Chain A
Amino acid sequence: MPEGKRTTLEIQNVDKHFPGVQALKDVSILLHEGEVHAIVGENGAGKSTLMNIVFGLIQSDRGKIFRNGRQVFIDNPIDAQRLGIGIVPQELSLVPLLTVMENILLGMMPCRVKGMLLDWGSMSKRAVKVLEQVGEYIDPKAVVGHLSTAQQQIVQIARAFSFGAQILIFDEPTSSLSLKETDNLFKIIKNFQNSGGSVFYISHRLEEILEIADSITVLRDGRKVAELAPAATSLREVIRYMVGKEVEEAKRTARFTPEGRETVLRVENLTRAREFRNISFELRQGEILGLVGLVGAGRTELVKCIFGDSIPDSGSVYTYGQKTLHKSPEDAIKNRLAYVPEERRKLGLFPILSVSENMTMPILKRLTRLIWIDKKMQSAQVQDFVKKIDIRTPSLKQRVQNLSGGNQQKVILARWLLTGCRILILDEPTRGIDVNAKSEIHQILRDLVEREGISVLFISSELQEVMKIADRILVMHEGVLKGEVIADQTTQEELLQIALS
């Protein structure tokens, strides 16, 4: 903690109660000038609630906030902006069809003739100035929807800069950035810090928090359980505070031996224009095959194509030794494949349907007696899996949107296990999921391959995770398969080298 530095924001004894949960209890935090203050905790620990209070999206039940020593009342985001507080949300809030400069200056576009006519010239100038401040060049006339996620994030940061933010809240900023883009973001944050700005930084990636933060506040069940200095702590300690106990590192599976194992999935020279080309690999029974690559490598496009969501231009897919063409996901599911997409909320869940329905949606026909769904059989099967993989839900009728991220992911896993799938394709299955749930999901996957002989194709941007869970790792870059390594004989550096070579 930099002693003597001025306190720029003080959160004092904040409480927040939601129906059924005490989201925050007596939380106090000091944010100093030029400080990057990380807030960590499991999902549901209260990080987002706290940041929403600071940004005025919700109001606390009790407690005070001081800005530069003066008590302030932040009733809405406009108050927050006036106080120099900006946010870079996880789900970027940009207008995709408008240009970069319009997005940056949204709500305060310069006008001529008393607000009747937009002054495009000065708008462009101001946008460029702000972008220079951020230290990135993006064409101000570019349409935001055509930019990469990283560039869009920079537009979002620029918007915060444009009203002179001195405090920036970053909510999971790196979750969809590549390593290089992450480095770049850190550079921007460091610059901001050096010019006296302060940052609240929320992330599940503890390694990067240890790298960038000046202090770490750990929340658990709405309470502040620790404030740590990165220099004087370790990953292990942070995790211990987060979960309140030691997380057991799941044991590595015994070395996987490909000999004598059936090849369940073989891809040969699979090509789809502008997405990927000449991809060939094999997946054996009971194997976890990792698939890594920087953002834009074409991993998701490849697996979606294997799953029948798109049709390849050339090349072929063999399943269980037979040549197959999946024309639709339905075909692939019949062929006992399963795909857990990356964007859980958008592509995987039926938020307002129940846990039970979410789990049985693909197998309803199998649960049908004559013309009605056998509800008893349905809940019996669901109950079985809820126990087996420990899905924490108050009831099977609970709407799945009320579950935590980890439990939602388990619901989706259970859904596919219920279909009796043999080949499980997971796309970033642990993104946005807290450490504890993450290691649980890893354990579930290990059990599955060992006991049931299921094969898993595992995509993740977290190289360490893939190295820990996979047997072999495929490396893709810009639509091309660059190489293959044995997971426990490689390093992050080697993987990156292969990708970029």
Chain B
Amino acid sequence: MKTYGNSDKEESLTLLRKVLHFKESGILIALILLSVILSVATDKFLTPYNIGIVIRQVSFVAIVALGQTLVLLTGGIDLSVGNMAGLCSILGSLLMVSTKIDPYVCTIIAMLIGLILGTISGFLIARVGLNAFIATLAMGEVYAGLVLVITKGYPITGIPPKFRFLGQGMIGLVPVPVIIMLVITGIFAYVLKFTPYGRHIYAIGGNELASRLVGIRVIRIKMSVYAISGMLSALAGIIFVSRMNAGQPTIGPSWLMPSVTAAIIGGTTLSGGEGTVLGTIIGAIFMGVLANGIVLLDISVYWERVIIGAVVVAAVIIDILRGRRF
């Protein structure tokens, strides 16, 4: 049914439609708009220094949010990510300070601890049958308590200088944490789209009962996403140690809300089965730029949480409206 003469116009229309069809396009457009507004409003925004700060800050939350995205895709939620990051980073930095083990080996050990803690949550949820919300909330409390038991609230200092590279180093113009974030994003995007494991995650989120009946190892896969989420939380925590030169007992809780937020405004649904890691990354950057804008525009930081909360509500409403159109 091709009509000649206006095929150019038609083609550009379908291209536009294709762009709009991407679930990520909404948040991407919002991010571009926000960036344009900030660039016009203040000349402090579009500077290499500022961009560097924003993207580095984003990378910590984004790494946690990537794990959170996997969990959300299966229809679960991991509310322990923040406190898990705190506990694993404290254990990792204790190991660095009090033993002679190479700090990078300590990093791997901390990640393994995160993996094990995540597996415990996964076991409680997938095998024992606890509700994900309450199981991870409770486990998070346990981790937060353990952090205080271990540190008595004091930071752990004396991190070996050679460890600074992980959180403070640059490769070319790009900070190392950002590179780590990008690599994980790439791996996850690939796994989710092109491997049976990835597609099974979507299947479980879309219909868990049906997944079981087609022979998917539902329990194993559900446990694995919490394990991965735990491991990435630990990684983010330990990179933050490197960034701050100290194991901070208070880092965890502030990452939980942004990790869920980034995924949700990036198009991942809380009911599972829908969403992408690319959306999550864009979502995380959006949240980072928003927080940065609040600072640059001299809005009281106390407003930050109010604004972020409102943005999440708006994002979810937009998502519902978009769902209705079809």
Contact = CB atoms under 8 A, between A and B. Distances in A.
A351 B206 contact: yes
A18 to B, nearest CB: 10
B214 A353 contact: no
A368 B214 contact: no
Contacts of A368: 195-196
B207 A351 contact: yes
A348 B274 contact: no
Interface string B155-196: 000000000000000000000000000000000001000111
A347 B195 contact: no
Interface string B185-219: 00000100011100110110011011111111100
A287 B300 CA distance: 76
B120 to A, nearest CB: 23
Contacts of B209: 346-347
Residue from the set B199, B202, B207, B210 with the largest chain A CB neighbour count within 10 Å: B210
B217 A372 contact: no
Interface string B74-94: 000000000000000000000
Given A346-B209, A350-B210, 18 more contacts: A330-B217, A334-B215, A346-B210, A347-B209, A347-B213, A348-B210, A348-B213, A349-B207, A350-B207, A351-B207, A352-B273, A357-B202, A357-B203, A361-B199, A361-B203, A361-B211, A361-B214, A373-B195
30 contacts: A19-B326, A309-B212, A309-B213, A329-B215, A330-B215, A333-B214, A334-B215, A339-B213, A346-B209, A348-B213, A349-B210, A350-B203, A350-B206, A352-B206, A352-B273, A353-B202, A353-B273, A357-B202, A357-B203, A361-B199, A361-B211, A361-B216, A362-B214, A362-B215, A364-B196, A365-B196, A368-B195, A368-B196, A371-B195, A375-B194
Residue from the set B196, B211, B215 with the largest chain A CB neighbour count within 10 Å: B215
A333 B195 contact: no
Nearest to B271: A352
B196 A373 contact: yes
Interface residues of B, number: 23
Contacts of A37: none
A341 interface: yes
The 8 closest A-B pairs by CB, nearest first: A364-B196, A333-B215, A350-B206, A330-B215, A372-B194, A362-B214, A350-B207, A347-B209
Contacts of A375: 194
A32 interface: no
A350 B326 CA distance: 17
Interface in A74-95: none
A448 B196 CA distance: 28
B68 to A, nearest CB: 20
Contacts of A309: 212-213
A287 B216 CA distance: 28
A398 to B, nearest CB: 12
B246 to A, nearest CB: 39
Contacts of A159: none
Residue from the set A332, A353, A373 with the largest chain B CB neighbour count within 10 Å: A353
B195 A372 contact: yes
Contacts of A351: 206-207
A375 B199 CA distance: 12
A272 interface: no
Interface of B: 190, 194-196, 199-200, 202-203, 206-207, 209-217, 273-274, 325-326
A341 B209 CA distance: 11
Contacts of A339: 213
A361 B273 CA distance: 14
Interface of A: 19, 307, 309, 328-330, 332-334, 339, 341, 346-353, 357, 361-362, 364-365, 367-368, 371-373, 375, 415
A350 B203 CA distance: 6
Nearest to A330: B215
A372 B195 CA distance: 5
A335 to B, nearest CB: 11
B215 A357 contact: no
A368 B193 CA distance: 12
B192 to A, nearest CB: 11
A332 B214 CA distance: 10
Contacts of B217: 330
Contacts of B215: 328-330, 332-334, 362
A415 B214 contact: yes
Contacts of A353: 202-203, 206, 273
Nearest to A340: B213
Nearest to A334: B215
A448 B207 CA distance: 28
A59 to B, nearest CB: 15
Given A330-B217, A361-B203, A415-B214, A350 B273 contact: yes
B274 to A, nearest CB: 6
Contacts of B196: 364-365, 367-368, 373
A307 B325 CA distance: 40
Contacts of B190: 372
Nearest to A375: B194
Contacts of B216: 330, 361-362
Contacts of B273: 350, 352-353
A372 B325 CA distance: 34
B212 A329 contact: yes
A307 B212 CA distance: 11
A110 B213 CA distance: 45
A373 B202 CA distance: 15
Contacts of B199: 357, 361, 364, 373
A240 B249 CA distance: 75
A57 B274 CA distance: 27
A17 to B, nearest CB: 14
Contacts of A307: 213
Given A346-B209, A347-B209, A350-B273, A329 B214 contact: yes
A450 B226 CA distance: 47
Contacts of A371: 194-195
B197 to A, nearest CB: 9
Contacts of B207: 346-347, 349-351
B326 A329 contact: no
Nearest to A400: B206
B214 to A, nearest CB: 4
A202 to B, nearest CB: 25
Contacts of A352: 206, 273-274
A341 B213 contact: yes
A356 B214 CA distance: 15
Contacts of B195: 368, 371-373
Contacts of B214: 329, 333, 361-362, 415
A329 B213 contact: yes
Nearest to B269: A352
A49 B139 CA distance: 48
Contacts of A346: 207, 209-210
